Amino acid sequence: MAVSHSAIVILGASGDLAKRKLIPALATLYEQGEIDETNVIIGTGRTEYSPEAFRSRFDVPEDFARLLHYYVGMEGLKKYVDGKGTFEQIIIFMALPPSVYAQRARELAAEGFGAETRIIIEKPFGYDYQSARKLNEELHAVYDESQIFRIDHYLAKEAVQNILVFRFANNLFHPIWSSAAIDSIQISAYETIGVEDRGDYFDGSGIIRDMAQNHLMQLLCLMTMEAPVSLDAEEIRAQKVNVLKTISIDSVHRYQYEGYRSERGVKPDSTTETFAEIKLHIDNFRWTGVPIYIRVGKALDRKGTEIGIQLKPLPHLLFNQEGRVQPNRVIFKIQPAEGIILDLASKTPGSEVRLARTTMKFCYEDEFDVEIPEAYQKLLLDALRGNKTLFVSAEETEMSWRKYADFLDHGEIELYKPGHPPPTKLGCEWIDFERYGSACD
């Protein structure tokens, strides 16, 4: 059923996010029949726009453009929304700096946006544990947790959502998904670019806050959580929280690429990390003894986010008497070219028994003849339908920050050359994800 009789309000609609992502995503949902003509989309901002001038900013179909309206400021906004019709729900997307989330929430409540309202906010959800907890308290003072939707874009990626299907819909893998068969878990998130025009933001954040504490911890939770009793959003989120409770961080090493301090917006004496490698473990029966490694950074030799599950080596018997058979691996390609790769041993053609490493690949683009939805399409539609599966709870946010409390901004910063990841200090053999190429090759 198409979503109907809803008011979608975008605070900060005169900015870049609305132009590049939000309005195009809503237009696509309209063209696909996911939202209908009974909805209205109201942009707000400090910039003066007539409705016609606001609509002209977007390259959207004319029938969709008729749903677009614009209002200047906050005062009187609720009255303006009510004047556009009778709505079953009001979705408010804060395309604003995180520093004003709490203030805008209070202003919205004062305007009369009440139980019919859902608030969507983007990361970062705080700067550390204390600020995250304070933000949640301020939001909860005016809105119930059920009304607050915290976006994590990684959770909207098809490859991420498929992790649970892979694990719990295939009995082939369920029996081996524990310390009995798995030797280690590795998560890698590399970018080739530096900070570019985000120097001001990034220098006050760093790669641990920007990526490790949120996106990559969410990936780890989905990869290691117990099976929920149902697909209800709260059941899935409860299992992620259970994993977070048992995670301990063993060590963090921080690095910075040469030339970072010369980037626009970066302090000349900055000690902000642009690369980090992290060792963790999970203290529960399933994962005890399994080391978990994370490496994440900018200005590196390749772009890609992957998860590698390395199985334990074979005993020195049969084909592995000399210990030369490499352990099996499961590689999750999160981006780009989402897919899954199984690393196996097989016999090479010929009369003699010789083994070779081979791969079996699953590629979304090749397997399904449909367009993979952009993250905002999925997230906005889920928010409109009240589905919180892909949104982060207050408890998850605070607990993840708490795990990193002793490691944020701590430790020496070492330099590395752009395009060359620094040598590891974790004593592990990192999976060469580049060797596997794309799941869609």
Residues noted as catalytic: 215
* Positive or negative torsion for Cα 386, 390, 391, 393: positive
Buried b (16+ CB within 10 A) or exposed e, 115-141: eebbbbbbbbbbbbbeebbebbeebee
Spatial CB neighbours of 171, under 8 Å, sequence gap ≥ 6: none
| Kind and range of the H or E run holding 332 | strand 329-335
Neighbours of 2 (CB within 10 A): 14
The CA distance from 235 to 230, in Å, is 6
Spatial CB neighbours of 21, under 8 Å, sequence gap ≥ 6: 374, 376
Spatial CB neighbours of 266, under 8 Å, sequence gap ≥ 6: 195, 199, 202, 203, 260, 272
